[in-house]
């Protein structure tokens, strides 16, 4: 009997599978195209803003007789024109740092109270009030700050000068109402508090219940559960929430313009009246500026634009490294 040997058949060609981004249906393709187009449109808008700001800034800086980065004066209408961002950069950064130092710890505490400590009947109204505060217009905060916060902070300034004047920062050397960078920082802290609280609260509510229950089963206290399970899980969310608040603090305009007494002097005595920020200076001088003066203000806006991009880029880098570290230890 003749033996037969099996004939090797070539493997069947792989069946093309649809991209995981789309199931092949027309509706999914349309949605994918719209989503991709939205992302591209956003990049185009950002690039257009950057090109416009850069072009107008070059026109102004090329005619500046001083040093744009270190000059303390702002007089683009002078002969020769002299203007610089040193005071504006100092005021913007200092007031934002004060706001972050005050707001972030309080916001995280409120978010933890709402998500893990408060009874449900109490947590819901508090969360509603916090979300409502985030919707209040900035001009309302500014009017409240000018009429209520500024008069009452004068007593706090005197107290800080009496007991902490030795730090030099809280030494009050000028007589005047509390229209200072310290007051602006407190007002900005109140404004960004609802944003940081809302985002942090939502992140804390996403912590896996199994992690918390396992820690409680091992005998951990409520604080140990939060310290070992909740805060490590929500660290990237807290950073993201803080960057959102910092973005509002850096670009806040009307509230700062209502409260601050502008001056082009840099002083480490934060209780003294005076100072300036990018947004406040643009809002105060744009209406009366000529064409060259507007270009100078746009140049300062470009610096604020770059500063905001750097802050957000640094936040994204921190979050990415934190995720890589967490993945490596998992």
Q: What is the 3-state secondary structure (H, E, C) of 78-112?
A: CCCCEECCHHHHHHHHHHHHHHHHHHHHHHHHHHH
pLDDT at 165: 84
Question: Taking the model in full, what pTM does it have?
Answer: 0.84
**How far is 241 from 104, CA to CA, in rounded Å?**
9
Q: How confident is the model at residue 13 (pLDDT cuts 50, 70, 90)?
A: low
For the chain, give the percent of residues with pLDDT over 90: 26
For the chain, give the percent of residues with pLDDT over 70: 90
**How far is 301 from 248, CA to CA, in rounded Å?**
15
Domain annotation for the chain: domains and CATH numbers: 82-329 (1.10.3720.10)
Statement: residue 186 has pLDDT above 80: yes
Pick from 126, 143, 99, 116: which is nearest to 225 by CA?
116
Statement: residue 318 has pLDDT above 80: no
Pick from 307, 313, 251, 298: which is nearest to 279 by CA?
251
* Alpha helical stretches, state H, the chain: 26-61, 86-112, 120-134, 138-144, 150-164, 181-205, 209-217, 222-225, 231-233, 235-251, 254-259, 278-285, 291-329
pLDDT at 221: 83
| DSSP annotation string for 130-156 | HHHHHTS-HHHHHHHIIIIIHHHHHHH
Over range 109-134, report the average pLDDT. Answer: 89
Statement: residue 29 has pLDDT above 90: no
**How far is 272 from 176, CA to CA, in rounded Å?**
8
Q: How confident is the model at residue 156 (pLDDT cuts 50, 70, 90)?
A: confident
Tens digit of pLDDT for each residue in 187-242? 999 999 999 999 999 889 888 888 888 888 888 888 888 888 888 888 888 888 89
pLDDT at 112: 92
Statement: residue 328 has pLDDT above 70: no
Pick from 98, 148, 136: which is nearest to 254 by CA?
136
Statement: residue 6 has pLDDT above 70: no
């Amino acid at each position: 009997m003749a033996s037969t040997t099996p004939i090797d058949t070539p493997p069947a060609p792989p069946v093309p599978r649809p991209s995981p981004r789309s199931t092949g249906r027309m509706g999914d393709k349309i949605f994918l195209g719209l989503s991709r187009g939205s992302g591209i449109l956003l990049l185009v808008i950002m690039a257009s803003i950057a090109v416009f700001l850069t072009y107008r800034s070059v026109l102004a800086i090329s005619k500046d007789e001083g040093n744009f980065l270190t000059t303390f004066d702002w007089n683009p209408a002078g002969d020769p024109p002299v203007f610089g961002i040193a005071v504006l950069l100092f005021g913007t950064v200092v007031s934002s740092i004060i706001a972050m130092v005050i707001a972030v710890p309080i916001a995280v505490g409120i978010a933890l109270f709402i998500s893990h400590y408060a009874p449900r009947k109490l947590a819901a109204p508090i969360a509603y009030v916090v979300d409502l505060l985030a919707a209040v217009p900035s001009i309302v905060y500014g009017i409240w700050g000018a009429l209520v916060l500024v008069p009452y902070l004068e007593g706090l300034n005197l107290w800080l000068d009496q007991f902490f004047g030795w730090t030099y920062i809280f030494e009050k050397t000028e007589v005047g109402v509390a229209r200072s960078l310290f007051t602006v920082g407190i007002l900005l802290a109140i404004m960004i508090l609802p944003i940081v609280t809302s985002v942090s609260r939502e992140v804390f509510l996403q912590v896996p219940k199994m992690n918390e229950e396992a820690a409680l089963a091992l005998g951990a206290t409520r604080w140990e559960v939060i310290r070992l399970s909740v805060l490590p899980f929500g660290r990237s969310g807290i950073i993201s929430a803080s960057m959102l608040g910092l973005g509002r603090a850096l670009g806040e305009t009307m509230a700062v313009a209502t409260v601050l007494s502008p001056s082009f002097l840099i002083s480490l005595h934060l209780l003294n009246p005076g100072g300036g920020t990018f947004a406040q200076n643009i809002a105060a001088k744009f209406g009366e500026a000529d064409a060259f003066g507007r270009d100078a203000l746009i140049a300062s806006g470009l610096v604020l634009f770059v500063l905001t991009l750097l802050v957000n880029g640094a936040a994204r880098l921190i979050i990415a490294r934190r995720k890589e570290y967490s993945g490596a230890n998992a």
